A and B are shown apart, each in its own frame.
Chain A
Amino acid sequence: MNYFTEVVLSGLTRGSIYALIALGYTMVYGIIELINFAHGEIYMIGAFTALILASVLTIFGFNTIAILFLASIIAIVYSAMYGYTMEKVAYKPIRNSQRLSALISAIGMSMFLQNYVRIAQTSDFLPFPRIIPRFPWLSALPISMSSAQFMIFASTAVVMVLLTFLIKFTKIGKSMRAASQDKVMAKLLGVNVNKVISVTFIIGSATAALGGILISSYTGQINFYIGFLAGIKAFVAAVLGGIGSIPGAVLGSFVLGLTESLGAGYISSDYEDVFAFIILAVILIVKPAGILGKGQIEKV
C-alpha cells in the first residue's frame, strides 16, 4: 500500500474519533451555549474505565468477545453517568449567571477530573489491552486496514445514523431541537428543558467514551492526560464545521483529521498539533460561523 493511502486512512481514523468527541461539544453548545472544557475528560474516563474493566475481566478469565462488549458497554454507561453528574453539579446551578462563570466552572471541572484519575489511578502511561479482535476477512480488502481502524469507522457510522434518527424522528430529538432554538419558548410549549439538557450530556458523554475506548485500543496506551488535547482538537473540529451543527461537527472532524495527517505525513510530525490550532485561527478569521454554520446575529 502506498504512503498516501496510509496517511489518508490514518487521517480518516483520527477524523472519526474527533467526530465522536465533537458531537458532545456541539450538542451541548447548541443547547446551553457552553464550551464544556471538561468534555475531553469524559472521553478519558471512558477509556480508563474500559481499561480497568477489561483488565478485571481478563483476570477473571472471560473470553475476548465478552470482554469487548462488557467492558465497552459498562464504560460507556459510566461515562454517561459522569456527564450527567457533571452537568448537575457544575453547570446547572449557574445556568443563569454570566457566561464567564460557566466557562470557569468547566475549566475547574476538567482540572478536577484529570487529577481525580491521576490520584486514584496513576500518572503513568498504561498499556491498553487489544480488546478488538482480529478480523481475518479484512485482509481481503484492497487497502490494508487494521481491525481497530475498521471498528472505528464502523462504530462512527453506526453512531451517526442512530443519532440522526434520534434527532430527526424521536420525541426527545424534537425537544432538543426546540430547546436549542429558543429555550424560553420551548419551556412555554411544555418541553422539559432540564431533561433535554441532561439527555444531551448523556448522549454526548456516551459517544465521547466510545471514541475514547476505540482510540485507546488503536494506539494501545492511555494516561490521565489524553482527554485534554483530544478535547481541544474535537472542539476545533466542531468550530470548523460550525458549532451547534451536528453534520458540521462530523465534517469538521474529518477535515481536521485529514489535515493533521497530511501535515504530519508530508510537512513535519513535530508540529502535528500546531496544524489544528492554525486551522482554528484561519477559520475564525475567514468564516467565524464554520463550514456549515449559519452566521447568527445576536439578539439585542
Chain B
Amino acid sequence: MTQRLHELRRSLLVSLWFMLLTFPIMVIRVNTITGTIRWRWSNLALIGIGSFVISVVWRYAMQRKTGEVRATGVFAQVGARVGAGAEKVRTVLDSPKVRVRLVSGLLAAAVAYPFLTSMYHTNIMITALTYVVLGLGLNIIIGLGGMLHIGYAAFYAIGAYSYALLNMYFGINFWLALPIGAALAGLFSLLIGLPTLRLRGDYLAIVTLAFAEITRLVLQNWQQVTGGAAGIPNIPRPQLFGMTMRLHQTTTFVYFIMLAVVILTIFVVHRLENSRIGRQWVAMKEDYIACQAMGVSIAKAKLTALGIGAVWGGLVGVIFAARTTFINPASFTVWESVIILSTVVLGGMGSIPGVFVGALVLMLLPEYLRPFAQYRMLIFGALLVTMMVFRPGGFIKKRRKAYTITEAEKQSVIEAGAEADEDTEE
C-alpha cells in the first residue's frame, strides 16, 4: 500500500514538473500584432491530468518491463488471457492450411474492394498500399539489414521524377518507366551507401538524411529541368493497350497495379528473408562483428540490402507520378521518410505481416479520423518513442523461420555423422 502511495506521489511530482515545463508553450499565446496575451489555463489542467495518468501507466509499464512488479488481480488475468490468445492466434496462423485460407480470403477481398466501394475509398486504399510497398522496401534496409535509413522518400522521389522527366523529354511510357525508375533508385542507393561502408552504422542515418535533402533541394532549385518548386503537371496516367479509360476506370486500374506490386513485393521479400542473403542481412543486424568473423562480407551485405531495398521506393514512385499526374518536391520531404519509418517500426521491424498491418493502420486511421489529422505527426513521434522503450520489436514481432526437420531426415543426418566418425577412425 505504501508502495502504491509512493508511486502516486511520484506521478504527482511528474505531473507538476510537466505543468511547469510546458507552461510557456502550452499556456501563453501572444498575439504580437494586437499586443494581447491569451492565457490558456485549460491547457495547463489538461497537461496536469494527462501527464499524471500517463506517468502512472508509464511507471507501471516500466516496472513490469524490468520485472519489479508482477501483474496481480484483474490485470494479471487480462494479461494472461491476452497473452494466451495471441499465442493461440499465432499457432493457428502458423498452420499452412489456415494461412492459405487467410491469404486467399484477403486476396478475394482485395480484388472485390474497388467494385464494392467508391472511387474515394479506392484512392485511399491505393495510398495505403503504396505505403505498404514503401514500408516493405525500407524494411529490407532497416528491419532485415539493421541500417537506419531516414531518406527513403528520396527513392520515392527518384521514381516519380524518373517517370515524369523521361516521359516529358523522351516520351517514355509508364510501363517502361517502371523498371527504369526502380533501377535508378537502386543505383542511387548504392551510391550513397558507398561512402558509409567503412563507418559505424549511425553515420548512415545522417548521410541518408543529407542525401534526401540534397535530392529534394536539387529538384526544387533546378528550375530548367525539373520545373522547380512548381513541379511537373500533366503526367500521363498508366495506359492499357491504348484503351481510353474514364477516371474511375483508371483509378481501378491503378488500384490493381498497386495490388500486383504489393503481392510481388511480399513474394520477393519473403523469399529473400529466408535465403542465404536474408540470413546475411539479419546476422549483420544482430552483430556485425561476429557476422564478419563468420565469413560474411559486410560491404556486400550492406550494399545488397541498400540496393534491393531502394528499388521498391522507385517502383511505387513511378506509380505515384502516374496516378496523381502532378508531382512537386513538397511530396518528398524528410517527414515523408519518417512516416515510412514509423510504419516499419510500429508494425514490427523485419516482419512482413507487421509492416503490412502497420502501414495499413497508420495510413488508414488518419484518413478516417479526420479530427485527429493534425495530431498525426505528434502521435507518430510519441509512438516511436514509446515503442522503442516498451516494445522495440513492434506490434507483430518477427520470429525466425523454424526449419522443420522430419524424423527421417534427422536419422539420415545422424547416420551421416556416424559414417563420418568411422571414416576418421579408419
* CA of A124 to CA of B338, assembled, Å: 22
A-side binding surface: helix, strand, loop or mixed?
A: helix
Contact among A90, A94, A120 with B26 in the assembled complex (CB-CB below 8 Å): A120
State whether the Cβ of B206 lies closer than 8 Å to any Cβ in chain A: yes
The residue from B28, B142, B217 contacting A56, defined by CB atoms under 8 A apart: B28
Q: List, in ascending order, chain A residues with CB within 8 A of B16's CB.
A: none
Partner of A281, one of B201, B210, B385: B210
Chain A residues, CB < 8 A from B334: 228
State whether the Cβ of A185 lies closer than 8 Å to any Cβ in chain B. no
Q: Which residues of B contact A85 (CB under 8 A)?
A: 17-18, 21
Within B147-176, the residues touching A (CB, 8 Å) are 148, 150
Q: When each residue 361-385 of chain B gets 1 if its CB lies under 8 Å from chain A and 0 otherwise, what string results? A: 0000000000000110110111111
Q: Does B209 contact A (CB under 8 A)?
A: yes
Please pick, from A53, A111, A232, the residue contacting B338 in the complex, using a CB distance under 8 A: A111
CA distance A281 to B200 in the complex (A): 14
**CA of A270 to CA of B217, assembled, Å:** 8
Interface residues in B27-86 (C-beta closer than 8 Å to A)? 28-30, 32, 35-37, 43, 62
Q: Which residues of B contact A113 (CB under 8 A)?
A: 381
In the assembled complex, which residues on chain A have CB atoms less than 8 Å from the CB atom of B380? 108, 111
**Cβ–Cβ < 8 Å partners of A236 in chain B:** 206, 210
Tell me the smallest distance from the CB of A209 to a CB of chain B, in Å: 12
CB contacts under 8 Å to B, within A90-111, are: 90, 93-94, 97-105, 107-111
Residues of B contacting A298 in the complex (Cβ-Cβ under 8 angstroms): 200, 289
Q: Beta-carbon contacts of A217-232 to B below 8 Å, as 1s and 0s?
A: 0000000000010001
User: Per-residue CB proximity of A254-283 to B under 8 Å, as 1/0?
Assistant: 000000000000000011011011101100
Q: Is B190 an interface residue (CB 8 A)?
A: no
Query: Is the beta-carbon distance between B389 and A105 smaller than 8 angstroms?
Result: yes
**CB neighbors of A among B382-407 (8 A):** 382-385, 387-389, 392
**Chain A residues in 8 Å Cβ range of B341:** 104, 107
B217's contact among A111, A121, A273, by CB below 8 Å, is which? A273
Which of B62, B206, B387 has a CB less than 8 Å from the CB of A239?
B206
A52 and B25 in contact (CB under 8 A), knowing A93-B62, A228-B334, A277-B213? yes
Any B CB within 8 A of the CB of A165: no
Q: Are B384 and A107 in contact (CB under 8 A)?
A: yes
Q: Which of B24, B207, B374 contacts A284 (CB 8 A)?
A: B207
CA–CA, A53 and B30, complex, Å: 9
Number of A-B contacts (CB under 8 A): 161
Closest A-chain residue to B289, C-beta based?
A300
A121: which B residues are within 8 A, CB to CB?
Answer: 25, 29
Chain A residue contacts of B201, Cβ below 8 A = 99-100
Inter-subunit contact B25/A48 (CB<8 Å): yes
For A167-183 the 0/1 string (1 means CB < 8 A from B) is: 00000000000000000
Q: Separation in Å of the A275 CB from the closest CB of chain B?
A: 10
Residue of B148, B207, B335 contacting most chain A CB atoms (<10 Å): B148
* Residue B417 CB within 8 A of the other chain: no
CA distance A56 to B200 in the complex (A): 47
Question: Can you name the residue of chain B whose Cβ is closest to the Cβ of A278?
Answer: B214
Say yes or no: is B205 at the interface (Cβ < 8 Å to chain A). yes
Tell yes or no: A126 within 8 A of B by CB: yes
Determine whether the beta carbon of A90 is less than 8 Å from that of B207.
no
* A49 within 8 A of partner (CB): yes
- Report the separation of the CA atoms of residues A277 and B217 in the bound assembly, to the nearest whole angstrom: 11
B196 touches A284 (CB 8 A): yes
Given A48-B25, A271-B221, A281-B195, is A111 in contact with B32 using a C-beta cutoff of 8 Å?
Answer: no
* Complexed CA–CA distance, A264 and B345 (Å): 38
In this complex, the interface size class of chain A, counting residues with CB under 8 Å from chain B, is 35 or more
Task: Assess A93 versus B389: contact at CB under 8 Å? Given A85-B21, A108-B384, A274-B217.
Answer: yes
Q: Is A55 an interface residue (CB 8 A)?
A: yes
What's the minimum C-beta distance from A226 to chain B, rounded to whole angstroms? 14
The smallest C-beta distance from A249 to any residue of chain B, in angstroms, reads 15
Q: Is A141 an interface residue (CB 8 A)?
A: no
Out of A104, A235, A274, which one reaches B148, CB within 8 Å? A104
Interface residue B113 (Cβ < 8 Å from any Cβ of A): no
A4 at the interface (CB under 8 A from B): no
Q: Are A53 and B24 in contact (CB under 8 A)?
A: yes
Report if A55-B30 is in contact (Cβ < 8 Å); known contacts: A103-B202, A107-B341, A111-B338.
Answer: yes
Per-residue 0/1 for B314-345: is the Cβ within 8 Å of any A Cβ (1 yes, 0 no)? 00000000000000000000110010010001
Contacts of A115 in B (CB 8 A): 375, 377-378, 381
Q: B28 to A232, Cβ gap below 8 A?
A: no
B100 to chain A, nearest CB (A): 34
In the bound complex, what is the Cα–Cα distance between A281 and B195 (angstroms)? 7
Q: Which listed residue, A82, A110, A112, A277, touches B210 by the CB 8 Å rule?
A: A277
Q: Is the CB of A105 within 8 A of B388?
A: yes
Q: With A101-B388, A115-B377, A281-B210 as known contacts, state yes or no: A108 contacts B32, CB within 8 Å.
A: no
The chain B residues found within 8 Å of chain A, CB to CB, are 17-18, 20-22, 24-26, 28-30, 32, 35-37, 43, 62, 142, 146, 148, 150, 195-196, 198-203, 205-207, 209-211, 213-214, 217-218, 221, 289, 334-335, 338, 341, 345, 374-375, 377-378, 380-385, 387-389, 392
In the assembled complex, 11 residue pairs joining A and B whose CB atoms fall closer than 8 Å, in A order, are A35-B206, A55-B30, A90-B389, A99-B202, A100-B201, A105-B388, A105-B389, A107-B150, A273-B213, A278-B214, A300-B289
Shortest Cβ-Cβ A-B pairs, 3 listed? A108-B384, A112-B381, A111-B381
Residue numbers of A with Cβ under 8 A of B are 33, 35, 45, 48-49, 51-53, 55-56, 58-59, 78, 81-82, 85, 89-90, 93-94, 97-105, 107-117, 119-121, 126-127, 129, 228, 232, 235-236, 239, 270-271, 273-274, 276-278, 280-281, 284-285, 288, 298, 300
Starting from the known contacts A93-B62, A102-B388, 13 additional A-B residue pairs (CB-CB under 8 Å) come to A35-B206, A49-B24, A52-B28, A78-B24, A100-B201, A104-B345, A107-B150, A108-B383, A114-B381, A115-B375, A228-B334, A235-B206, A270-B221
